[in-house]
Amino acid sequence: MSYYRTVIFILTLLISCKVAGGSSLNNTFARLESGKPVQIVVIGNSVTHGAPAGEERTTSFYWALSDWLKEKFPEGDIRLQTSIIFAIGPELQLFRMEDKVFRYKPDLLLAEFSAANGAWGPAGRKVTDPATEGYIRRLRQNFPDCDIILQLGLFKDMMQWHERKETPPTAAFLKSLAIHYDCLLSDGQQELADRIISGTEWKALMKDGIHPGPEGYKVHSEILRKALDKAYAEYKKDPQPVRSHAMPEKTLDENPWEKPLLVPASAARDVEGFESADFGRFKGLSTVKSGAALAFQPEKGRCVGILLRKPEQMGGLQIKTQEDWKELSLKSEPAAMEEDDPKRNRIIRHFFHADGLPLYWEKIELRSWTEKGQSVQIIGFLVVE
């Protein structure tokens, strides 16, 4: 790292520390000190939950937040709501904000995006960067006095940067967002990486390539409590009434997804071979036939991907390009699941960028291919304005 890059990096860290210890949680503390309730919403995936769906949980870092607030405000009305989507990152959370966050009217949001964004890696930043910044901007637009905590998790591939004493690009972007949007930063991934580089075995802190083990969650909780201590100390020096967070006009990504839409599959046109289907929480179109086809053109914005339900035996989809039909790599996508879905629907989000195709589409044409016993089930289209 050059001298000037080093100086810039240090200055960035200093600014980050000021944000983490400044007035980022002013509204949370002011509400509790005045006897008002605080609604916390916790989002993320299995890393936030404490284990993959169906596996025994480890005590996650969000309990450290709840416990810390109860210690500081023993008479406070502190309400906690988890809103997990397993096996996924902000790129799907963004399109589900109304159901997963807005309906709870949050006063404080705790989000972990870093591990999933790290799993996408630098090549996936065309999706993760606009999705993550779009998420924060949407929250600020709809709930301007909601405080935000960004908890940074670790994915194993991120260690290649840490070993060179560099910040992984996906983590660097999240740190920049924390500064830009006045979010409290709790950098558990940096602390975990430092301990591993110092000689602690990976398996002593991490259960696998992305999920912390019990000791890893203790590290996350420790770092979060330190950030909270510092934020509260700064608040006590200069307490302010509840106020709206500033919304920067300038964005860090050139086109953050501030207006995402999950358009239902019923909006498709020229539908052949697909039938309407009810999946419980979701509705959509389903086919067991090869050659079933449809077209979709959003009324506003552009299509960036599709949301599907994953059946026991899944068929495939092809998208029409200028040259020919190209198969989408649906079967390599992780099957997500919403924590509170009574039907336990397994869902797949697929962005066209993942197949080396253009990110934005004015219109798409899809056709199915299936073998015996397979089906294709489309919930909707992921659109951004």
In tens, the pLDDT along 59-70 reads 999 999 999 999
Residues of the chain with CATH 3.40.50.1110: 3-237
Closest CA to 165 of 2, 277, 342: 2
- CB neighbour class for 371 (10 Å; exposed up to 12, middle 13-18, buried from 19): exposed
**CATH 2.60.120.260 residue ranges in the chain?**
260-384
In which residue ranges of the chain is pLDDT below 50?
1-22
Neighbours of 22 (CB within 10 A): 17
* Residues near 352 by beta carbon (within 8 Å), at least 6 away in sequence: 304, 305, 319, 328, 358, 359, 361
Q: How far apart are the first and last CA of the chain?
A: 38
In sign, the C-alpha dihedral spanning 115, 118, 119, 120 is positive
Give pLDDT, residue 11: 42
pLDDT at 109: 98
Fold of 260-384: Jelly Rolls (2.60.120)
Structure token digits, residue 225 = 């409590």
Q: Residue 78: CB partners within 8 Å, gap ≥ 6?
A: 32, 37, 38, 40, 66, 69, 70
Task: Return the amino acid letter for 188.
Answer: G
Q: How far is CA 19 from CA 6, 7, 180, 249, 289, in A?
A: 20, 18, 9, 19, 55
Q: Taking Cα atoms as reference points, which of 237, 158, 240, 253 lies closest to residue 196? A: 158
Do 351 and 305 touch, CB atoms closer than 8 A? yes
What does pTM read for this prediction? 0.92
80, 40 Cβ separation under 8 angstroms: yes
Orientation angle between helical segments 214-237 and 3-21, nearest 10 degrees = 70
Phi and psi at residue 245, to the nearest 5°: -75, 145
User: What's the confidence (pLDDT) of residue 34?
Assistant: 97
Supply the pLDDT for residue 18.
39
Closest CA to 146 of 308, 30, 234, 233: 30
Q: What's the CATH number of domain 3-237, 3.40.50.1110, 3.40.50.11750, 3.50.50.60, 3.30.1360.10?
A: 3.40.50.1110
